[in-house]
Amino acid sequence: MRDFLCRECGQRLSFENSLCLHCKSALGFWPPTRTIYVLDDKGRAEVDGTLLERCANNKVAQCNWLVAWTGVPTLCASCALTRTRPADADTVAMAEYGRAETAKRRLVLELCELGLPITGRGEDPVAGLAFDLLSSSQSPVVTGHDNGLITLDLAEGDDVHREQMRVELDEPYRTVLGHFRHEIGHYYQLVLVDAAARPAFEELFGDPDDDYQAALDRHYSQGAPAGWKQNYVSSYATMHPAEDFAETFAHYLHIRDTLDTAAAFAMAPAGSTLDGVLPGDVGFDQLVDRWLPLTWALNQINRSMGHSDLYPFVLPRRVLDKIRFVHNLVRPG
C-alpha cells in the first residue's frame, strides 16, 4: 500500500481516510491513478478532465473511493461487486458491513495492481465474481466460495467472535481481509488454472476434483496429519487440494501487499512494489530474499512491544514451491 499525502496540507494519510484530520479537507481515492484527492465543497474533484465524486456507498459502506460523475448515484468498482448486504435497519450488521467493505477495497486494489482479471456478475451471470456480505445474527451464514460467489459472515468483523473462532480452530491469525484473500483464491483457481497449468497444480496440491465432503469430514474428525508443517502453509490447507491452493494464494497476497507497503516506507527495496516485482522464477526468488528478512525484523519488533510474532509462519521448501506456482500464475514469465 502506498504512502499517501494530503494534497492540501501534506499530512500523511491512510488508504481508508475520507477526511484529513489536520486540515479537515474531504478526501476521495481514485483507483485509476492510485491517488487520494481533495474534494471541493460539492464533494467533487476534477482529474485529467474527468469530474469525480464519491461512491454512492460513501455513507452506508464507509467508502472513500471516487467514481466518474454521471448525475446519478454510482457505485465504485469494489462496491459494485457486492450482490447482497444487510438491511439498513440492521444497524449492528451495517456497521460490520462497512468494515467488511473496507477490507474488500484493499483486496480489490491489490488484485488490480497485480493485473489479475476481475469479471463481475454483470458480465458473466454464471461464474462472475460477486460478494454476499450477510449477518448471521438471525440465520446461519457459511463463509465460502461457490463458482465466483463469495459469501462472508459479517460476524467475522466482530473482534471477540473472530478471536474465539481463531482460538477454537487453532489458527495463527484470522482477519476479515484474510478471509477475502482465501475465498478469492478459489475464484482464481477457476480463472487461472487452465489445462496447461493443471499437471503442475496436481503435482503440488493434488487432484482438485477429490471428494470435497469426504475431505471435510476427515479433516474435522481427524485433524491435520502429522508433520503437515513441512508441506502446507496452514493446517486448514491439508484438508483438500482446493483449500491448499486457496490458502497458498491468500498467503501470496499477504506477502505482496506487505512488501509493497514496506517499500512505500523505505523498509524494503523499491522493486518490491506490487508493480515492480519481476515475473517468473527470478522475480519470485527476489521476493523471498526480501520477504524473509522483513518478517524476521517485524517479529522482533512485535516481541519488543510484548506481543506475539506478527508473522507466525514458517515457509519450508515445499510451501515455497507452491507459492512460486501462484506467483507464476499471477505474473507468468
- Mean pLDDT to the nearest integer, 37-54: 95
pLDDT at 333: 67
**Max avg pLDDT among 26-30, 157-161, 264-268:** 26-30
**Positive or negative: CA dihedral 247, 34, 259, 290:** positive
Calpha distance 225→237 (Å, rounded): 11
pLDDT at 158: 52
Domain positions in the chain: 4-75, 76-188, 193-332
Give the number of other CB atoms < 10 A from CB of residue 220: 10
Helix (H) or strand (E) holding 294: helix 280-304
pLDDT at 169: 45
| 135-150 pLDDT per residue, tens | 887 788 889 999 999 9
pLDDT at 157: 47
pTM of the model: 0.92
Beta-bridge mates of residue 131 = 82, 150
Q: What angle do CA 101, 103, 108 make, to 5 degrees?
A: 85
The pLDDT-based confidence of 196 (bands split at 50, 70, 90) is very high
